[in-house]
A and B are shown apart, each in its own frame.
Chain A
Amino acid sequence: MLPARYVVTGRTVETADSVTLRLEPLERPIPRFQPGQFTMLYARGVGEIAVSISGDPSVVDSALTQTVRAVGAVSRALHDAKPGTVVGVRGPYGVGWQPSLAWERDVLVVAGGVGLAPLRPVVLTVLAQRWRYRRLIVVAGARTPREFLYSDELKWWSSRDDLALELTVDHAADGWTGQVGFVTQPLARLPLDPAATTAFVCGPEPMMRFSAETLLRRGVPADRIRISLERNMKCGIGQCGHCQLGPLLVCRDGPVVDYARAAELLSVREL
């Protein structure tokens, strides 16, 4: 439960409220992470929050890459952390995306807003082991064109022949020539092989519900739609109960679960 000390060695501004931090251990590093897992990040003197890991799992070093959006006091402190700042790290925790479930299948990644952060390791895993997977489709939605995370990387992805990228925004801006609409629009019309598709979906809860329902209508089985739940995590190891969602402790049994399991829970208001 004791956090390991990490130092901020890089800070990339992604959007007006989000940055990606590179963290390097000052002592023993935490164990290697799996895509979709999270850490508990501690801003000294302020507090601790769960933050998903957005780094490349194929890079073998002890550094961590985490994307933080400034929402409250702790995330603001982490967002504002300059290189040289020491933070505490516990983890990695939780059940991740398990990309191996999509070996020899089509991979459909659906991200809404900052939901792209925990999905980035899935995309990078598939790209690093391209022979294991069939088609790779990434659908990402943002409020405006300026609010996409990893804009340089998205340009690189869009130039690749082995990845189909669909970007859509809620509100167009001058110069935007891409799609305008909710993420369910491309999902409804994309050429899919539903029985051979595994979908990884992350974003605000209603966005995941709408996306999952669209995919169900397209014929993708519920147990092949994986979503990442977000609840208020405190201990990260299934002891405190803060993140309970029905029978699940999200930090221990999630955050990634399949929609066959999650659908009923998400339909209960205030659960």
Chain B
Amino acid sequence: MSMFDQLSAFALLSGMSPTHIAVLSSAAKEVSFAAGDRLFHEGAPAKGCWLVQRGCVAVDAAVPGRGSVVVQTVGPGEVVGWSWLITPARWHFGAIAVAPTVAIELDTDQLKAFAEHDSSFGYPIAVALLTMVLDRLQTTRARLLDLYRNPADTPMSPL
């Protein structure tokens, strides 16, 4: 399958025109990671964005006394890496493949250059990334509700 077809099949990019997908293709390549391969380290300069096609990537952070703590996993159809978008471009968390993983890697230097040059390309890219970030924010908020805790942990329990 061509890169154009692979990107067209990615749900997150469904709002982009064929012309823009073609532009995006020129900044994309397929990459593979073995389980245990690290995509990036927390605190390192942020470059690159990965559209996961198969496998699983864990987003983690080093916590003293607890080692590497996984805060979220990212699977097929999801995206890893957006810290490159906002300055200072440094990874806030790390990312490691926890299963054999295939992804489309975007050259984010090229992507930013394309977007700054042509806002008609930059806008749908920004919307796609915002969609991803919003989705991630909402699932994180849902987890913050701690919905599965035992209600008895709260002061009043009617049953």
Contacts and interface: CB of A to CB of B under 8 A. Distances in A.
A45 B104 CA distance: 63
Interface residues of A, number: 38
A188 B135 contact: yes
A266 to B, nearest CB: 14
A143 B72 contact: no
Contact of B159 (A72, A113, A210): A72
Given A113-B147, A141-B148, A185-B75, A75 B142 contact: no
A114 B145 CA distance: 16
Interface stretch (A21-29, A120-128, A157-165, A174-182): A174-182
Contacts of A143: 146, 148-149
A172 B70 contact: yes
Interface in B72-89: 72-73, 75-78
A174 B67 CA distance: 9
A178 B72 CA distance: 10
Nearest to A170: B143
A81 interface: no
Interface residues of B, number: 30
A215 B5 CA distance: 26
Interface stretch (A2-10, A30-38, A95-103, A201-209): A201-209
Interface in A32-61: 49
Interface in B18-45: none
Interface string B132-159: 0001001110110111111110000111
A38 B109 CA distance: 58
Residue of B56, B98, B159 contacting most chain A CB atoms (<10 Å): B159
Interface of B: 56, 58, 67, 69-73, 75-78, 98, 135, 138-140, 142-143, 145-152, 157-159
24 contacts: A17-B152, A71-B152, A72-B158, A72-B159, A74-B159, A112-B147, A112-B148, A113-B147, A114-B148, A141-B148, A143-B148, A143-B149, A179-B73, A180-B70, A180-B71, A181-B72, A182-B140, A182-B143, A186-B75, A203-B147, A204-B148, A206-B142, A206-B147, A210-B142
Top 5 A-B pairs, shortest CB-CB distance: A113-B148, A72-B159, A189-B77, A204-B147, A182-B139
Interface of A: 17, 49, 69-75, 112-114, 141-143, 147, 168, 170, 172, 174, 176-182, 184-186, 188-189, 203-204, 206-207, 210, 232
